[in-house]
Structure formats: structure tokens, C-alpha cells
Structure 1
Amino acid sequence: MILLFAIIGFVLLAAFYGVGIYNRLVTLKTLVAEAWSGIDVQLKKRYNLIPNLVETVKGYAKHEKETFENVTKARNQAQSATTVEGQQAAENNLNKSLMNLFAVAEQYPDLKANVNFLSLQKELSVVESDIEKSRRYYNGTTRDYNILIDSFPSNIIAGMTNFSKAAFFEIDTDAERQNPQVKF
């Protein structure tokens, strides 16, 4: 009789433990989705600034049509990305295009002094900072979620209930990997 109660007690404890792991997986999956939503909001702000920035530069650099087309194309690709991996590739392309746009702007001293251009550049800088913060939060929640999926015994529960690892959001540009140049 005591053995029967011990077995029932063990089964109940194991069931409660399994439910606890499942609930933790659900919580972390929800946090990953919420974190991605935060990135999406910041990216949309950025995408809304880009046409204004392009139009401002266009007024000064009329013969840079290819640069403007590349920025617009990269923006559209980034907006239509549907996966984390697709978003990463699109953001890398958009960052390159924006760097080219700012390189064009460097050639026009009047543009660099334009109040509207400076305001847009400042706004973009703030949004880029917010994107970085959102990306860190997303990657942190993704890390926690992936660790739980990989750890024993939660990996058994994750496998049985079809939880899969989430992808990290890392923008890989050559400019981010290089040391910044300081010019006086």
C-alpha cells in the first residue's frame, strides 16, 4: 500500500514538474514573440524615416539616381521579410544602402548643414539605438528559450510538444565589425 502511494506521489510530482516545464516554454515563446514585435515596431519607424531622408538628399544630389533606387529597393525588401533570417539579410542590405546614401550626402556641404537633413539624421540615430536595444532584448529572450529547449529534462517536454528553437537576430555588416575611424 505504501509502495502504491509512493508511486502515485512520484507520478504526480513528475506530472506537475512536466506541466511546470511546459508552462515555462510557453512563457518564453511568448516573450520571444513579444520581443520580435518590439523590433518590428522600431524597424517600421526606421522604414518611415527613410523616404523622407531620400527625398531630402534627392533635392541636392539629383544625379545619384542609382543610390536612391537601391535604398528604396532595400527598404521594400526589408519591409516584406517574413522570417528572422530573411529580416537579417534584408537589414544587412538596407544598412549597406543607407551607408551609401550617407556617403553621397557627405559630398554636399549644403546638405550636411540642412536643418531637415540633420533632424532626420538625428531621428534615424535614435531609432537605430532603439533597434539595438530591442534586438538585445529579443536575443536575450531567445537565448533563455533556446537554453530551456536544449536542457535536460525540458528538452524531452519540448520535443514531445513540438517546441523548436528560435533564431537570433544578428545584423552582420562589415561596418559593424570594423573599428570606427575618428577624424578631426
Structure 2
Amino acid sequence: MKKGTKILLTILILIVVAVMYTFSTYNSLVRMAENVDNKWSQVENQLQRRADLIPNLVNTVKGYAKHEKEIFETLAQARSKLLNANTVEDKAKANDELSSAISRLLMIVENYPNLKADRTFVQLMDELAGTENRIAVARKDYNNAVKSYNMKVKVFPNVLIARMFGFEERQYFQASSQAQSVPSVDFSK
């Protein structure tokens, strides 16, 4: 084989390998991006579930605590912000506000022993606790998917392919510093 043919064949093989690597990396990035989107939709599903529980919880508490109007308004506003938030960052902020409002509601409940014994209230609190656990799991799954995706997008030479096709780093769903401390609520009194 002639030297020119060998060089041409080597260049052709390198081009084929580069194209195959690009296709493979692109497809991998698409799968990972879809996984992140799927995990995010699970977070949104659980946030929606919690938002749907709030009106029932508020109505149950209202029957016992009619003069606690401010907390009900705060809850309604926080719920509305969560339902209308679009970005991960906005959802995280709205989620923190709603969590804070729920915590304040639960502190008010301490003043109403009959409410704590109400079957509907207890059932709603159980559902809310279950939903909070689901949110935590969905957030963890989402953040793990984002971590894998972001690592794939940032490493060389994938970063070149990711930029070429418009794959960008995704945001984590992070709790605020206020969400780090859990309020103390004791329903056993």
C-alpha cells in the first residue's frame, strides 16, 4: 500500500471514530437530559400533591382557629407562588415559603387540643407527612440525575459536543438555609 493511501485511510478512520463518538455522546446527553426532566416532573408532581392538600388542611384548621386569619392568607399566597413558579430556582424558593407557612400553621395548631384529636386533621397530617417524604425522595433523585448530567456536560471532550448542540448545565433543587432547621411540633400533648 502506498504511503499516501495509508495516510488517507488513517485520516478517514479518525474521522469515522470522531463522528461515531459525537453521535454516541449526543445520544447519551439526550438520554440524560430526558432523565433529568423526568425526575423534575416527579418533584413537581409531589409539590402539586402537597399544594392540593393545603386547602383541606386549612379548612380543617379554620373550623377550630377562626381568628388565625393571617396564617391562612400566608398559606394561600405561598401555595399560589408554588403553583405559578416556572424555574427550578423559583420552585425551590416558593417551596421554602410554603414549608415555612406550614410550619407556622403547625405551631398554631398546638393551641387547639381538640383539633389535634380531629380525625380529618390527623389523616391530612399523615398525608402531608407522606408527601413531604415523597418530595424529599423526588428531590434527591432529581439532584442525583442533575449531578450525573452536569458531570457529563462538563467533562472534556463531552463539553465540546454539549456546547455544539446546546446542552447546558442544569440547576439543583436546593433547600434554603431556613429549611435546614425543622420546627419543633409535638402533637402528643
| Bucket of the pairwise TM-score, normalised by the shorter protein | over 0.9
Q: How does 1:45-56 map to 2 (within 5 A)?
A: 45-56=49-60
Q: Give the stretch that moved more between structures: 165-174 or 90-99.
A: 165-174
Distance 1:181 1:119, change over 3 A: closer
Structure 2 residue corresponding to 1:113, chosen from 88, 113, 117: 117
1:70 to 61, 70, 74: 74
- Give the equivalent residue in structure 2 for 1:177: 180
State the structure with more CA Rg: 2
User: 1:92 touches 1:173 (CA, 8 Å); kept in 2?
Assistant: no
* Structure 2 contact 96–175 (Cα < 8 Å) conserved: yes
Partner in structure 1 of residue 140 of structure 2: 136
TM-score, length of structure 2 as denominator length: 0.92
Shift of 1:149: 1.0
Q: What value does the CA root-mean-square deviation take over the aligned residues?
A: 1.6
Aligned to 1:126, the other structure's residue is in SS state helix
Q: What letter matches 1:49 in structure 2?
A: L
**Structure 2 alignment gaps of length 5 or more:** none
- How far, CA to CA, are the matches of 1:101 and 1:182 in structure 2? 10
**Aligned mate of 2:39, from 35, 46, 59:** 35
> Hey, which bits of structure 1, 4+ residues long, moved more than 4 A?
179-184
Any conservation in 1 of the 2:106–2:185 contact (CA below 8 Å)?
A: no
Are 2:105 and 1:101 equivalent residues in the alignment? yes
Deviations 1:56-90 (CA, angstroms, capped at 9, x unpaired): 00000111000001001100110000000000110
1:178 to partner: Cα distance: 3.3
Matched letter for residue 181 of structure 2: Q
d(CA) in 2 for partners of 1:129, 1:162: 34
Are the aligned partners of 1:46 and 1:124 in contact in 2 as well (CA < 8 Å)?
yes
Give the SS at the match of 2:34. Answer: helix
CA distance in 1, matches of 2:53, 2:159: 43
SS in 1 for 2:64: coil
Deviations 1:134-178 (A, max 9, x none): 11111011001100111000000011111111100112252x423
Which residue among 160, 172, 180 is the counterpart of 1:156? 160
Partner of 1:20: 24
State how far apart, in whole Å, the 2-side matches of 1:100 and 1:179 are: 11
Q: What residue number does 1:44 align with?
A: 48
Q: Which amino acid aligns with 1:80?
A: N
Gaps of 5+ in 1: none
Q: Percent identity?
A: 37
> What SS does the corresponding residue of 2:55 show, helix, strand or coil?
helix
Contact 2:103 2:183 in 1 (8 A): no
Q: How much has 1:4 moved relative to structure 2?
A: 1.0
